[in-house]
Amino acid sequence: MAVQDHVIVQGLHKVFTAGRGQREVQALDNVDLRVGAGQFFSVLGPSGCGKSTLLRIVGGLIDPTAGSVSIGNGAGPHDAQRAKEIGFVFQEPGLLAWRTVAENIEVALQVNRKANRPRQHSTTELLDLVGLTAFSKAYPHQLSGGMQQRVAIARALAFDPKILLMDEPFGALDMITRQAMRYELLRIWARAQKTVIFVTHSIQEAIILSDTVAVLSPRPGRLTGIVDIDLPRPRTEAMERSSEFLQTIDQLKQLLREETNHAANN
């Protein structure tokens, strides 16, 4: 498949300095990634492997110590941010308590207005997309955690970004809701047609969602393998019992285990 590269990450290093120049912690070590346009790309790794750091660098929220990120035609993360090409969904919804659901979605259009493009979807359509039409006038505290996270997804889609960056967006949800949200996200993704970079520590989640899974080792975050998922789309829950799914789980587990051993030996 001749897919154009949308996000290219090259030789990314990130070193955090804790305290006043005391201890240096290396979060990322020489990470290279290529994410194709329209691809659903997951970064899989244990807690503290620097995958959130990687996503924040791609989104322009923090700067790398070394290396480069190119988005689209060679633009950097900050250019993409200013052009509102990046929709970020975080571990927590981070909604504004004083705004209704609809107003929380629209806030994304009220800031940095000069970068707004003609709207692709009205707020009503976005609410329909995330299944919250009945709750447009509700306040965040009236919603469950899963519903709040869907508002956060709609907010990230409101300004029609080209890329969706998702940092363990379902991490704070219970298993039942989480399971449902995965398929909900796939349905939204199929309609919205975005490049998605999705960070998770759940192997099942990475497989069922993604076209490609990159595995990251902990401390420092190092790329240890890239696995293409060939399951047909649309994905269904039945596929979670297929032999291919189970084989991929083993393959990813193997990659994760090697790395943990590797890290332990260092």
Partner 1 sequence: MQQTTELVQTPAVVPSQRLRSYGRTLIEVVLPPLAFFIVLLALWEILVDVREIPAIILPKPSAIIRRLAEEPGYFFIENGLITFYEALAGFAVAAVTGIGSAALMARSRIIERTFFPLAIVIKATPIIVIAPLLVIWGGYGPAPKVIMAALLCYFPIMVNTIIGLRSVNPTSLEFFQSVAASDLEIFYRLRAPHSLPYVISAFKTSASLAVIGAVVAEWAGAGQGLGRVVFLMASYLDQEGVFAGIVVLAAMGILLTALVGWLERRLLHWHESMIVG
Binding mask 117-146 for partner 1 (x = CB under 8 A): -----------x--x-xxx--xx-xxxx-x
Told to check if 213 binds partner 1 by CB under 8 A, we report no
- Of 108 and 196, the one with the shorter C-beta distance to partner 1 is 108
For residue 112, state whether it binds partner 1 (rule: CB under 8 A).
yes
CB of 43 to partner 1, least distance (A): 17
3-state secondary structure the chain: CCCCEEEEEEEEEEEEEECCCCEEEEEEEEEEEEEECCCEEEEECCCCCCHHHHHHHHCCCCCCCEEEEEECCCECHHHHHHCCCEEEECCCCCCCCCCCHHHHHHHHHHCCHHHCCCCCCCHHHHHHHCCCHHHCCCCHHHCCHHHHHHHHHHHHHCCCCCEEEEECCCCCCCHHHHHHHHHHHHHHHHHHCCEEEEEECCHHHHHHHCCEEEEEECCCEEEEEEEECCCCCCCCHHHHHCHHHHHHHHHHHHHHHHHHHHHHHC
* Number of chain positions touching partner 1 (CB under 8 A): 48
205 binds partner 1 (CB under 8 A): no
Q: Examine residue 227 and tell whether it contacts partner 1 (CB under 8 A).
A: no
Cβ-contact 57, 69 below 8 angstroms: yes
To partner 1, the closest distance from the beta carbon of 63 in angstroms equals 12
Q: Please state, in angstroms and rounded to a whole number, the distance separating the CA atoms of residues 69 and 7.
A: 7
| Interface region with partner 1, contact rule CB under 8 A, candidates 33-41, 97-105, 232-240, 250-258 | 97-105
Query: Site map for partner 1, 5-44, x if CB under 8 A?
Result: ----------------------------------------
**97 part of the interface to partner 1, by CB under 8 A:** yes
**190 near partner 1, rule: CB under 8 A:** no
With CB under 8 A as the contact rule, the residue among 31, 35, 95, 154 that binds partner 1 is 95
Residues that bind partner 1 in the complex, under the rule CB under 8 A: 59-61, 78, 81-82, 84, 86-88, 90-99, 107-108, 110-112, 115, 128, 131, 133-135, 138-139, 141-144, 146-147, 152, 155, 159, 165, 177, 180-181, 183-184
